[in-house]
């Protein structure tokens, strides 16, 4: 027995050594700082540094689905270097930025990397995925799978009938004005956003639907905006149910392949198999920038319209009062008073799109806190940097 135990230990040590020697740099970093729980909101900075580039490879979170790239790649030619008028390296250090890609008029004007990240790697999106999810609703309308965003949500998710969501429309989900009570406090381990993904689903019911249909109403539908990640997950279940396809496959079919994304991406799955559509796509920062180009180009891919006429204008226009000066909310896009709009994720993920200047700023980071509400001023500084880039473009445009 003792010899068997010793032999087994030797085999495990050798196997571990082989795994370590063949693992890539990201996996080695992950093994050194492996999170022991699923709640990313309470990981250490070192754990997040390692995990954000390999979230789909963490054993406790490893269920994911591939978003396959196609044969052709949308080119990102280099343009003249952009003089931002600021110390970009110092800004990236302060932001703990892994990648910063600035595209102007279809050309890369600035591209820098930090935290050991590089163009060939992927970083998690967090809530940037919300804007992808809402765009797939537009695609489903264009394809005839969804009749109208003024349809009731329960028409497409029957398990919501009889709940507070029974009379909520798709439009109200997209704008987060359902009136259903929700707590999105990232610093509270008992908040809805911290608890709902760990919820044990009722038999035969999607995990998000199972959690959300127990929530209570606090305002009439359409009258009050409250940011709710759980509702974006419902949007994803709805889009998947309507199309009969997984979100990953539908995204690959409608945008990722025909538009020409450079790398495969992935999307984490909930316990019942749907994509966690309010979060957690893994993609290269250059491909996040390409999604910005897709939006700037009017939602065309391979010469064909993916979205209904007028969808982008409506989706990226303020639809509700967020009580945040200068910021509005469209269809899962943050809007700004100057006409720009953004996809935003906790810990510093973002796609900033300025149609008037034909400008895209894609960035991935690991801020010390999830948002400025947990302390710090990273979001404020990022907004100031966006403004600096806009001013730099304006200076160039002057005779």
Backbone angles phi, psi at 152, to 5 degrees: -75, 140
| Residues 324, 358 contacting (CB under 8 angstroms) | no
The one-digit pLDDT tens for each residue of the chain (399 residues) are 434 333 333 333 333 343 344 456 666 655 555 666 667 888 999 999 999 999 999 877 669 999 999 999 999 999 999 999 999 999 999 999 999 999 999 999 999 999 999 999 999 999 999 999 999 999 999 999 999 999 999 999 999 999 999 999 999 999 999 999 999 988 888 899 888 878 898 999 999 999 999 999 999 999 999 999 999 999 999 999 999 999 999 999 999 999 999 999 999 999 999 999 999 999 999 999 999 999 999 999 999 999 999 999 999 999 998 988 889 999 999 999 999 999 999 999 999 999 999 999 999 999 999 999 888 899 999 999 999 999 999 999 986
Region for 302 from its dihedrals, namely left if φ exceeds 0, alpha if ψ lies in -120 to 50, beta otherwise: left
User: Which among 326, 329, 297, 323 has a CA at the least distance from the CA of 312?
Assistant: 297
42 three-class SS: helix
For 255-378, strand residue ranges (E) read: 265-268, 281-283, 300-301, 304-305, 320-324, 327-329, 334-336, 341-345, 349-354, 359-365
Domains of the chain (ranges; CATH) run 66-397 (3.40.710.10)
CA distances in angstroms from 261 to 140, 255, 342, listed in the order given: 20, 8, 20
pTM value is 0.91
- Write down the H helix ranges in the chain: 2-22, 25-32, 45-51, 88-95, 128-142, 170-174, 192-195, 207-212, 229-243, 247-251, 285-296, 311-315, 378-397
């Amino acid at each position: 027995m003792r010899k068997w135990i010793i032999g087994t230990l030797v085999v495990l040590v050798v196997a571990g050594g082989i795994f370590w020697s063949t693992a890539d740099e990201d996996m080695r970093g992950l093994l050194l700082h492996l999170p022991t729980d699923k709640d990313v909101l309470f990981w250490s900075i070192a754990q997040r540094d390692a995990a954000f580039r390999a979230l789909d490879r963490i054993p406790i979170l490893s269920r994911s689905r591939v978003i396959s790239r196609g044969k052709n790649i949308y080119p990102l030619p280099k343009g003249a270097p952009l003089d931002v008028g600021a110390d970009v390296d110092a800004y990236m250090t302060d932001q703990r930025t892994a990648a910063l890609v600035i595209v102007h008029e279809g050309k890369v004007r600035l591209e820098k990397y930090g935290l050991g990240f590089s163009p060939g790697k992927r970083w998690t999106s967090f809530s940037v995925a919300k804007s992808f999810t809402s765009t797939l609703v537009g695609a489903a309308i264009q394809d005839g799978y969804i009749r109208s965003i003024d349809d009731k949500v329960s028409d497409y998710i029957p398990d919501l009938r009889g709940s507070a969501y029974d009379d909520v429309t798709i439009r109200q989900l997209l704008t987060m004005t359902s009136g259903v009570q929700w707590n999105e406090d990232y610093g509270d381990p008992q908040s809805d956003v911290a608890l709902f993904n760990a919820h044990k689903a009722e038999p035969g019911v999607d995990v998000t639907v199972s959690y959300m249909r127990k929530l209570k109403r606090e305002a009439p539908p359409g009258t009050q905006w409250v940011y709710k990640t759980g509702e974006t997950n419902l949007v994803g279940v709805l889009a998947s149910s309507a199309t009969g396809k997984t979100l990953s496959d539908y995204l690959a079919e409608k945008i990722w392949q025909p538009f020409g994304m450079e790398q495969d991406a992935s999307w984490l799955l909930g316990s019942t198999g749907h994509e966690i559509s309010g979060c957690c796509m893994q993609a290269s920062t250059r491909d996040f920038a390409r999604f910005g180009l897709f939006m700037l180009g009017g939602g065309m891919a391979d010469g064909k319209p993916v979205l209904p006429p007028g969808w982008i204008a409506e989706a990226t226009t303020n639809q509700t009062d967020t009580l945040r000066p200068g910021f509005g909310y469209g269809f899962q896009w943050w809007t700004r008073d100057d006409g720009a709009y953004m996809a935003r994720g906790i810990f510093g993920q973002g796609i900033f799109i300025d149609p008037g200047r034909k400008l895209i700023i894609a960035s991935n980071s690991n801020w010390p806190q999830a948002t400025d509400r947990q302390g710090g001023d990273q979001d404020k500084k990022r907004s100031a940097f966006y403004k600096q880039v806009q001013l730099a473009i304006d200076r160039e445009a002057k005779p």
